[in-house]
Amino acid sequence: MNTFSISYPTIESVQKALLQKEISCSSLVDDYLKRIAQTRHLNAYIEVFAEEAKSQADIIDQKIAAQKPLGKLFGVVLSIKDNISFAHHTMTAGSKILQSYQALFSATAVQRLLEEDAIIIGRTNCDEFGMGSSNENSFYGPVKNGLDESLIPGGSSGGAAVSVQTGTCLAALGTDTGGSVRQPAAFCGLFGYKPAYGRVSRHGLVAYGSSFDQLGVIAHHPQTIAHLMQIMAGADEYDATCLSEAPPDYLAQAPKKPLKIAYFGQILANEALHPTILATFKDEIQRLAQKGYQVDSVDFDLIEYLIPTYYILTTAEASTNLSRYDGIRYGYRAKDVHSLEETYKKTRTEGFGLEVKRRILLGTYVLSAGYYDAYFAKAQQSRRLILNRMQAILKDYDMVMMPVTANFARKIGTNSTPVEEYLSDVFTVLANLTGLPAISFPVANSIDENVISFQFLTLRERENLLFSWFVPSH
């Protein structure tokens, strides 16, 4: 593991070391770049911005030497997922169809981080257009888990998770449409955060499911995520779905009294839940109760509707969002075509991967005239029922605790049907369906060295609880 990633694992430790001249920003970036080179076989990065990162590090060193004002994130080295815009850099969303596309502007969140002296070291591999739970659906090939190279890292932000896991950056920006930050963070033994819907601008994110997508963060420590959220969160004139209310103080102190935590009793009876994860979940409930927290089982009889509701709505939105990729305006264009219609067909046939095609077809089907009311409209109604139920639960409880995954990371390339892959998201899609914030966190390692992680969900107005919970006083 990278020396600096062990010695300086948090923003506070990095910045203190820089100001006390223990290290230089240039040596920090060089160390990260060496680690990237050592872990290239994991396929976490699609492109590394080595010279640019070195140049930015030199500027920070010069500011420190001259005692000039520094941004709040000086010395913070980040990776960004390949579906997040970074001006004048290639962005392909892990797809052939966006081959060689250059972003014309930076995502609002990225721009806010850059203005505070953050350094972006590279773009990370991901499932094509964020569609996948294993990072095997990328045009650039699968990402390998740094804990065990035979295992998937999770997806779709698998490259982002592995970039942090292997010490090539301090934190990573990913996107979470149905668990794509929390699930890979869980498989890689990290913290993963999905903000409340609208808390961080989606301007500059490649759209998959517009009413589900959120930019999130993966890091070793929740306080690192909190620091980044302090900068990224807030209204944005370029995104009408952004919340107009002021974001909470993500760095607030821990609550002074024990919280009330709910969990779903139906989950414990779910046969798909691995026995070791189930046992660890029960142990965690008992541990929390012993520490004085009120931990209660509550009824949530809508679990069976989560996956069908999620996939009906996201595939419908995907079929609309991805219709813009036609080979005419930008990106990949098929050769040897003789008409506009043939250009569309051949470009999309050659440019999209199998999973993307599958979801476009599903989405087109549920939006078709004969099936709109039977599927899409019903799914919208189901989504409202799920939200109402969660809001009712969270009126009586501070947070809901759930597993992140029902099983451990599987082997890369092992047979898994599309339905099995979709079902693997059963515990993560709830936060996206309801727009609630959620944080995943590692709690234990099982005897076979697989990480076990759980997650907390809460209302958006108490979003900071998800961070203050992990302050050392707990």
Known catalytic residues? Answer: 81, 156, 180
Which is nearest to 164 in space by CA: 379, 351, 358, 2? 2
Cβ count near 220 (within 10 Å): 19
Both tokens of 247, joined, read 């974001």
Contacts of 458 (CB under 8 A, 6+ apart): 394, 398, 399, 400, 436, 437, 465, 466
d(CA 457, CA 29): 35
d(CA 71, CA 227): 12
Both tokens of 462, joined, read 């108490």
Residue 54 in 3-state DSSP?
helix
Contact assessment for residue 422 and residue 355, using Cβ atoms and an 8 Å cutoff: no
Contact assessment for residue 159 and residue 143, using Cβ atoms and an 8 Å cutoff: yes
Residue 454 in 3-state DSSP?
strand
DSSP notation for 304-343 = HHHHHHHHHHHHHHHHHHGGG-SSSSSS---SS--SHHHH
**Which residue type does 332 have?**
Y
Contact assessment for residue 331 and residue 101, using Cβ atoms and an 8 Å cutoff: yes
d(CA 389, CA 361): 31
d(CA 436, CA 121): 30
Both tokens of 62, joined, read 């010069």
- Look at strands 119-124 and 191-194 and give their pairing: unpaired
Residue 179 in 3-state DSSP?
coil
Residue 149 in 3-state DSSP?
coil
d(CA 164, CA 41): 15
Contact assessment for residue 398 and residue 260, using Cβ atoms and an 8 Å cutoff: yes
The Cβ-side half-sphere exposure at 131, using a 13 Å CA radius, reads: 27
CA angle 21, 218, 181 (to 5 degrees): 165
